[in-house]
Structure 1
Amino acid sequence: MQWRGSGFVVLGWWYVVAVVGAVGVLMMAFGDVRWGGRIMAGGLFFGALVRLVARPDRKAGGLNARSRAIDVLLLVGLAIGVLLASATVRLDI
């Protein structure tokens, strides 16, 4: 999954997950922390879904780092962690 001679590796769906994560971070910085966390968690859940259903593995692009089960578990775990952290943060201090 590399363009010939360019040195640029095509990461596929990873770009979508990264952009959604960046939107979540910007939302946290300039908007509502809880909505930013939800957006980030949604991007991570989407990445887990893509990694779970992409066949063959090369269709997952940059989301294909380890075995399928480990990648999906890590992405879902991160999504749940971000979602819980953003939902339980105290904003009234």
Structure 2
Amino acid sequence: MVTRQRVSIFGLSLPVTVETEIYRPFEPTVRTRSAQETEAAGGAALTAYLASLMGQDGEIRSTLVSSRQTGDVLRVTLTAECVEEIGRTVPLEAAAE
């Protein structure tokens, strides 16, 4: 992860940028999942993402998770029915006579 921060003194930007790079070493491991495990994990991740996109008044009524495998690739699809109140109440003003 790389972050860059411009340097300023008393509100004046200097032509200097501090760049910080963070390394996290790890050993990759191979893990094999069944199609059912992957579909369940993908469906849970997609449902959580959809819930994060819904507003305060939003509601997820139903979800359907499906998957299709082509070679080594498993594509997980979430189909959902959502209801969200996107309108707002505005009082009507009386017509000027």
TM-score by length of 2: 0.29
Structure with higher RCO (Cα < 8 A, 6+ apart): 1
- Select the structure that is richer in strand: 2
TM-score by length of 1: 0.30
Q: Indicate the structure (1 or 2) with the bigger Cα radius of gyration.
A: 2
